Amino acid sequence: MGAIAAYNKYGDRTEVTDKSLRGTKEALETLLAYLGRSLAEAVNPTIERILSSATTLPDGTVKEVKATTILKELNGEAFLDDVSTFVNSEIEELLFYRNLLHARVQWSMWAKRISRGVFALLILQGVFTFYFVAEKILGRSVTPVVLLVTFSVSAVVVGFCVVCAGAMLHHHDQISEYRDKVL
């Protein structure tokens, strides 16, 4: 019966995934948009230097930018300083993004493992139940070795599921922490 209850809770990951990761996508998108705007602001001086050497039409429209000018600026010290300034000023947000993404991937991995573990437990319990009923119908007694093996195998799978649930909770807590810092 415990295997059936666990399967109802963890077998289908759709609901669990939706509950646990609902705001994660929004947080990642918000953080990525912020980082994109910050990077654009940081490299704006480089873009201005490139455009200042471009050929323009009388109305101010850029007609031509030489590839050598672009390469010179992007390989130059000023551009590297702009990017370095961005990284140094936004290091915390970059780490939040990385850690939130990592926690989401890890949570998903453990959710998949617990789902498969619970499914395996359900199958094992079904096989064991069928075996014990068949033995009872045939009038044979079940040996203590068979009982020990069935309980041992079940205990190992249950232990695996408990470890998976603990890991899921750990990564869910990380997701919540990082999501709260971002949103």
Q: Is 161 helix (H, G, I), strand (E, B) or coil?
A: helix
Overall number of domains in the chain: 1
Mean pLDDT of 39-66: 79
The pLDDT of residue 11:
57
Q: Are 133 and 162 in contact (CB under 8 A)?
A: no
Which element (helix H / strand E) includes 78? Answer: helix 77-89
The pLDDT tens digits for 166-176 are 998 899 888 88
Mean pLDDT of 8-22: 63
- Residue span of the structural domain in which 34 resides: 2-182
The pLDDT of residue 156:
95
Q: Are 51 and 65 in contact (CB under 8 A)?
A: yes
- The pLDDT-based confidence of 60 (bands split at 50, 70, 90) is low
pLDDT for residue 155 is more than 60: yes
The pLDDT of residue 52:
79
pLDDT for residue 69 is more than 90: no
Closest CA to 169 of 114, 118, 117: 114
**Mean pLDDT for all residues in the chain:** 84
The pLDDT of residue 162:
92
- pTM score, whole prediction: 0.72
